[in-house]
Structure 1
Amino acid sequence: MPESPEVQVLAEFLADRLVGRTVEDVDVIEFRSVKTRGRSPETLRGAQVTGAERFGKHVDLRLGDQHLLVTLGRHGWIRLRERGESAGTDPEAPPALATLALDDGAVIEATDAGDWVSLGLSVVDSPTDVAAVAKLGPDPASPDFGRDAFDRAVRGRRKQIKAILQEQESLSGIGNAYSDEILHAAKVSPVAHAATLDDDALDRVFTETVETVRGAIAARRGIPIDQLKAAKVAAMRVHGRAGETCPVCGDTIRDFRFGGTTAEYCPTCQTAGVEL
């Protein structure tokens, strides 16, 4: 699932490359991806791109006086094919569910690799017209994010800390992978309820939340957008590493399922040796 570090770099790339270009044509291949039935992406023909911005795990393309809010979901992404670049013949490449052809021959492709459609396209007057954006909590990547915002989202809650980190209404932009990385670095169990964490543990989770998210954004900048997902996977220390050696203590990384998701953790570093 795309998370804020990779989506931030994607939005910055799109802003750098697309501003000033005009949408010449729109083709929606998968109509289930369109979430604003009364306003189809076809209405964007003739609009000029004036910006691109990230909201949580969403990308907002400003087109004239409208916005195309792209909800990336579980497997969604955006590709940019410059003029003359082949559409590609790789059978493993995720298919485009919608395309926007630009006036200089480039094509924006909104893709989805899943077995079900998780990509969402909304044509709106403002990003906050999309409920998922309107409900977003504070963003740890923002320079304005501080300890007060973190404490309001986390402190005293009778809910597992991993679930809170992934809850977009509490803290926006973090998903399954980075929540695993944050809690491993903070040496906190993913199943610990926030209300049971002492001040020292909360200090560590806050610090690692900020440093993990912002550090990943800095590390991803300059990487081609088609390689961002692979770079994310390669950078993980515990997420997706079940059965491998913990880089901190040498124990074996374990995984477990809860609440419909999977978590990876190190027993020595995070759960006092107890396997979950």
Structure 2
Amino acid sequence: MPELPEVSALAGFVAEHAGGQHIVGVTVASLNVLTTYDPPASALVGRVLVAGGRYGKFLDLVTVPDGEPDGQPLHLTVHLARAGWLRWSDKISAVPPKMGGPIALRVRFEGGGGFDVTEAGTKKSVAAAIVTDPSQVPGIARLGPDAMGDDGTGLTLDALKSALAGRTGRIKNVLTDQTVLAGIGNAYSDEILHTAKISPFATAGKLDGAVLESLHSAIVSVLSGAIARTVGAGAARLKGEKRTGLRVHARTGLPCPVCGGTVAEVSFADRSFQYCPTCQTGGKLLADRRMSRLIK
């Protein structure tokens, strides 16, 4: 799943490659991908891409009318969900993609380049919207404070304290709740908790003192490091760049690069997370419901 660093990189990549260009074609190739209908997708044709940004894990591409830099902006927002991605091509086909295939949305620019929003698998969760204000997208309107802060340099310690105050859920779940903190998903929450040496099952609202400071430092360092690794990376390389920087996520059974212990996993019906028992839980293995059922 693309998270804050990858979405930031995708926004910068599209802005670099298509900024200032006219949109010459928009094709919706999935019945479920577009969540808005007014204005229609065709309203983007003829407009100029002027900026790329993000809200949490939502990609935001900003367009204005041709010849009117101060005109009413239209935003194309895209949430790539778990299995979505953005594929850029310097010479994208003008032939519309087939309905029902892996391509959900295609946008073409005057320079011949463009991108496809794709989604693997049969569960279609990628969502796009065309709005005059990103806050009109319900998922964006519900976002909590950004995990990289208002200025993009990192969340403040006070903001983190406020976000976690009174939270009775496990810190792993709270970190990935976009209404609490925007931008962190399954992979980077694993990395953050490992860096901070905090159990994924710790109660979020009970973290204080040095533990909370360690969590704050880990959020800033892990996300800043991931963003630094993705700067200038092409869209096709971002997944690989993400994997190279992971220390525990998706590394079940491999040695922890910090202590040499074995990375463990907790599995659920449709997801899993990884942690190091030695670094994070005092050597204790966390309860894995799926494995418990198998043992019974």
- Is 1:193 aligned to 2:200, yes or no? no
Deviation at 1:212? 0.6
- State the TM-score, normalizing by the size of structure 1: 0.92
| 1:122-157 deviations in Å (ceiling 9; x for gaps) | 010111110111121112222363111111111342
- Is 1:67 aligned to 2:75, yes or no? yes
Match of 1:80 in 2: 88
Moved segments of 4+, more than 6 Å = none
| 1:74-109 deviations in Å (ceiling 9; x for gaps) | 1212222113x679xxxxxx9321111212222221
Matches within 5 A, 1:208-247: 208-247=218-257
Q: Which of 145, 157, 161 is 1:151 aligned to?
A: 161
Q: Which amino acid aligns with 2:191?
A: E
CA, structure 1 residues 54+106, in 2 after alignment: closer, same or farther (shift >3 Å)?
same
How many aligned positions are there? 269
| Cα distance in 2, alignment partners of residues 219 and 167 from structure 1 | 25
Q: Which amino acid aligns with 2:195?
A: A
Matches within 5 A, 1:122-201: 122-141=129-148, 142-143=152-153, 145-201=155-211
Deviation at 1:259? 8.3
SS of the residue 2:32 aligns to: helix
| Cα distance in 2, alignment partners of residues 218 and 193 from structure 1 | 31
Deviation at 1:237? 0.4
Q: Which of 189, 199, 206 is 2:216 aligned to?
A: 206
Moved more, 36-45 or 186-195: 36-45
Match of 1:262 in 2: 272
Deviation at 1:41? 1.4
Match of 2:123 in 1: 116
In structure 1, stretches of 5+ residues that fail to align are: 88-93
- Is 1:8 aligned to 2:12, yes or no? no
Q: Which amino acid aligns with 1:110?
A: V
Q: Name the % identity.
A: 39
C-alpha contact 1:165 1:174 (8 A) present in aligned 2: yes
Q: Which of 99, 104, 108 is 2:111 aligned to?
A: 104
C-alpha contact 1:34 1:40 (8 A) present in aligned 2: no
Deviation at 1:18? 1.4
Match of 1:91 in 2: none
- State the TM-score, normalizing by the size of structure 2: 0.86
C-alpha contact 2:108 2:115 (8 A) present in aligned 1: yes
Q: Which amino acid aligns with 2:25?
A: D
Deviation at 1:234? 2.1
C-alpha contact 1:96 1:110 (8 A) present in aligned 2: yes
RMSD of aligned residue pairs (Cα, Å): 1.8
| 1:213-261 deviations in Å (ceiling 9; x for gaps) | 1111011112221110121112110000000001111111100125853
C-alpha contact 1:66 1:124 (8 A) present in aligned 2: yes
Q: Which amino acid aligns with 1:81?
A: S
Match of 1:36 in 2: 36
C-alpha contact 2:254 2:262 (8 A) present in aligned 1: yes
In structure 2, stretches of 5+ residues that fail to align are: 65-72, 95-100, 287-296
Deviation at 1:49? 0.9
| Cα distance in 2, alignment partners of residues 38 and 18 from structure 1 | 24
C-alpha contact 2:2 2:57 (8 A) present in aligned 1: yes
SS of the residue 1:181 aligns to: helix
SS of the residue 1:189 aligns to: coil
